[in-house]
Amino acid sequence: MHKKLFIPGPVDVREDVLQQMTKPMIGHRTKDASALQRRISEKLQKVFYTNEEILLSTSSGSGLMEGAIRSCTRKRAAVFSVGAFGDRWYEMAVANNVPADKFSVEQGKATTAEMVDEVLSTGKYDLITVTHNETSSGVMNPVEEISEVMKKYPEVIWCLDTVSSMAGTKIEVDKLGVDICITSTQKCIGLPPGMAIASMSKKAVEAAKEVPYRGVYLDLLALYDYIQKKDYQYPSTPALSLMYALDYQLDRILEEGLENRYARHLEMAQYVREWAKKNFELFPEERYASNTLTTIKNTRNIDVSALNKALGERGFTISNGYGKLKDKTFRISHMADYTLDEVKSLIAAIDDILGL
């Protein structure tokens, strides 16, 4: 029996979307391939609220995160971490010999505008990375407030990890002033894993030109330049099947309407949060609680693995806490094409199993 995945990615993908991946191959150096990538880019510009170029990468979101910090840090990067995925960005800097410092907060807290301001006021940094939605703690950072502060530092490149939030909540890339905004297919976009997506501002393009060793495959400038020179083609052979599915799914997303999609995500989040507050506690500060997944403090000390096993027998699966938060928290995601009714069925099953 297939278990419905209420985990923070991969998410369940609709049958008609999966079916797109059975379309026959085309040459990746044809006009059809250019048209496919251009179509996808134009639709993604709407989802990202950007006029900047959209880069596609046959990699996971981690691939483009690494590419971003390596390609665009000229002097030193400030990595703001609120959990596992912020920490990962710092590890990427270290592994690439990119000078960087990490600024962490206690798990469950957010990166605040004040923190960013304080760090950047030192003048030491020319790039920052921020996790928009941290899937370990369930924190959604206040990017609007950070955006206000960033206006004071026009020379600093802003990289934002929206892997688990883009298309699930409104992120107006150009208005916020985000230079490199990264997501991947298997979260709120509602596709299988295998492709990462980023917007890249002209400021980031200029920054990358100053960095001598950017590698090749994950070099954002190489992806950008290839689009310009080869009319929306990809330097190597891209994951065509996923591109077919992405092209189709973006139509579905735009047909639903972005505002409707965000409202649906928020409705599911609010339902899970209210349930969590009634029966457990929210792990993050409530004002920073994510709209795409909820991390719940295991105040009843339930056996999360046993719960998940029992849920499995009913066709559902949720996530245990991530890393050090295992068993101390558990996570319910509500992203992509799930509906409030499906979330209600899951919660009803949990209530029944736990006798709540």
DSSP string, 26-82: --TTSHHHHHHHHHHHHHHHHHHT--SEEEEESS-HHHHHHHHHHHH-SS-EEEEES
Segment 27-56, which members bind a second copy (CB under 8 A)? 27-28
Query: Whose Cβ is closer to a second copy: residue 13's or residue 272's?
Result: 13
Helix axes 31-48, 240-256, angle to 10 degrees: 40
Query: Whose Cβ is closer to a second copy: residue 18's or residue 35's?
Result: 18
Shortest Å distance, C-beta 200 to a second copy: 18
Segment 308-347, which members bind a second copy (CB under 8 A)? 317, 319
If one asks whether residue 59 binds a second copy (CB under 8 A), the answer comes out as: yes
Query: Whose Cβ is closer to a second copy: residue 97's or residue 106's?
Result: 97
Closest CA to 352 of 311, 309, 304, 293: 311
CA–CA separation, 161 and 239 (whole Å)? 22
Shortest Å distance, C-beta 122 to a second copy: 26
Question: Segment contacting a second copy (CB under 8 A): 24-32, 40-48, 106-114, 294-302?
Answer: 24-32
Query: Whose Cβ is closer to a second copy: residue 257's or residue 312's?
Result: 312
If one asks whether residue 2 binds a second copy (CB under 8 A), the answer comes out as: yes
Is 331 within any annotated ligand binding site? yes
If one asks whether residue 91 binds a second copy (CB under 8 A), the answer comes out as: yes
Q: Would you give the binding string for a second copy spanning residues 153-192, x where CB under 8 A is met?
A: -------------------------------x-x-----x
Closest CA to 136 of 86, 98, 178, 80: 86
Nearest 5°: the CA angle 206, 64, 4 is: 150
Segment 94-123, which members bind a second copy (CB under 8 A)? 95-97
Torsion sign (Cα): 128, 202, 193, 96: negative
Question: Segment contacting a second copy (CB under 8 A): 1-9, 105-113, 295-303, 341-349?
Answer: 1-9
Please state, in angstroms and as integers, the Cα–Cα distance from residue 134 to each residue in 40, 80, 85, 251, following that order.
26, 11, 7, 27
If one asks whether residue 19 binds a second copy (CB under 8 A), the answer comes out as: yes
The SS3 of residue 141 is coil
Q: Which residues are annotated as a binding site?
A: 331
Residues contributing to the site for a second copy (CB under 8 A): 2, 5, 7, 9-13, 15, 18-19, 21-28, 58-63, 66, 70, 88, 91-92, 95-97, 184, 186, 192-195, 212-219, 235-242, 317, 319
